[in-house]
């Protein structure tokens, strides 16, 4: 590995970890060595690639553009190494972006078999309930729901999940069970990241469409917490089936207005635009498509 190529790999690891020390530990280098390598690369390029602060190390604007240009080269080299080995073995680091609830309920339970198949691969999860910036956060694969607003991203549809309303049996016994969408106006509504219109729930039945304006007293930005609030009897929540399947099966939550269709939410795996996908990225997406049967 040449000094320049090694420096590019170090830059990528610092960008991913946000730390000279963490990048050094991953690559078997001391923190001063990492700092020296990055400083040398910046001198050669002629611009600051990283912004240093006491809290974190982040890419500068020039650093984002530079890394976006060189990562396809690194990915191509990784692809060449992968093909040369001829064993199908995956190495290196795969960064996966997902929401808290989806990671807990859908990804982590599927992870053991994938990691057993690829013992030399390390996986970093980037967990956030807002959409990650795939380039700035160096995410290789992210799981997204609903409409994809950035048409330039590479995406693969993994499945479609039905959306529904749920509430705890205790809440329904106390407040009554709604029989039609209009009844929701007299109920406590838990408003979470439903992936639908932020101001209304839309229901369809027998060719008729009904929109219910949302005026919930409890607003929660994380799906996992919204589900917990419903289990606690705080009201009626809207969620995809994967977000409440276990609670429904255990009887902690019951479906509401089952005669009405609330539509579906598509689940996609997305990869950064303009960046060659890693062999590990493709293998992980293939594995998810194989194991997720919605």
Give the CA angle between residues 18, 47, 96 to the nearest 5°.
30
Least confident of 133-142, 237-246, 248-257: 133-142
pTM: 0.73
214 has a pLDDT exceeding 60: yes
| pLDDT, tens digit (0-9, with 9 covering 90-100), for 83-100 | 666 556 787 788 899 999
276 has a pLDDT exceeding 70: no
291 has a pLDDT exceeding 70: yes
d(CA 172, CA 178): 8
Q: What is the pLDDT of residue 1?
A: 41
Segment holding 280, helix H or strand E: helix 279-291
| Higher-confidence position of 33 and 16 | 33
| pLDDT, tens digit (0-9, with 9 covering 90-100), for 119-173 | 988 898 988 887 777 766 778 899 988 777 665 568 899 999 889 999 999 999 9
Strand pairing category for 92-98 and 141-145: parallel
Residues of the chain with pLDDT > 90, as a percent, come to 42
d(CA 217, CA 234): 10
Q: At 195, is the pLDDT very low, low, confident or very high (cuts 50, 70, 90)?
A: very low
If we measure between CA atoms, which residue out of 261, 253, 260 comes closest to residue 237?
Answer: 253
| pLDDT, tens digit (0-9, with 9 covering 90-100), for 56-76 | 788 888 988 888 788 777 777
Mean of all residue pLDDT scores within the chain: 86
Count of other CB atoms within 10 angstroms of residue 100? 14
Backbone angles phi, psi at 213, to 5 degrees: -70, 135
175 has a pLDDT exceeding 90: yes
Q: At 294, is the pLDDT very low, low, confident or very high (cuts 50, 70, 90)?
A: low
Decide: 101 and 70 in contact? Cβ < 8 Å: no
Q: What domains sit in the chain, N to C, each tagged with a CATH number?
A: 1-86 (1.10.10.10), 160-264 (3.40.190.290)
d(CA 290, CA 136): 29
Q: At 5, is the pLDDT very low, low, confident or very high (cuts 50, 70, 90)?
A: confident
Helix (H), strand (E), coil (C) string for 105-120: HHHHHHHHHHHHHCCC
């Amino acid at each position: 590995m040449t000094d320049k190529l090694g420096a590019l790999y170090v830059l990528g690891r610092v960008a991913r970890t946000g730390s000279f020390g963490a990048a050094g530990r991953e690559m078997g280098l001391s923190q001063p060595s990492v700092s020296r390598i990055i400083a040398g690369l910046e001198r050669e390029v002629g611009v600051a690639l990283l912004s240093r602060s006491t809290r974190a190390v982040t890419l500068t604007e020039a650093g984002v553009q530079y890394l976006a240009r060189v990562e396809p080269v690194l990915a191509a080299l990784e692809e060449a190494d992968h093909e040369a080995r001829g064993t199908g073995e995956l190495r290196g680091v795969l960064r996966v972006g997902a929401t808290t609830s989806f990671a807990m309920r859908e990804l982590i339970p599927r992870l053991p078999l994938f990691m057993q198949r690829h013992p030399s691969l390390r996986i970093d999860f980037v967990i956030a309930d807002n959409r990650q910036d795939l380039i700035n956060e160096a995410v290789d694969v992210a799981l997204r729901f609903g409409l994809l607003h950035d048409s330039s991203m590479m995406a693969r549809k993994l499945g479609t999940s039905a959306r529904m309303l749920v509430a705890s049996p205790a809440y329904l016994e106390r407040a009554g069970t709604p029989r039609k969408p209009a009844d929701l106006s007299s109920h406590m509504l838990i408003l979470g990241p439903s992936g639908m219109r932020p101001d209304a729930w839309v229901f369809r039945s027998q060719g008729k469409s009904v929109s219910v304006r949302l005026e919930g007293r409890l607003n929660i930005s994380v799906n996992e917490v919204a589900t917990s609030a419903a289990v606690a009897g705080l009201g009626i929540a809207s969620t995809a089936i994967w977000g409440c399947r276990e609670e429904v099966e255990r009887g902690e939550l019951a479906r509401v207005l089952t005669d009405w269709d609330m539509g579906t939410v598509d689940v996609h795996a997305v990869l950064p635009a303009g960046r060659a996908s890693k062999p590990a990225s493709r293998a992980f997406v293939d594995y998810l498509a194989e194991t997720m049967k919605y």
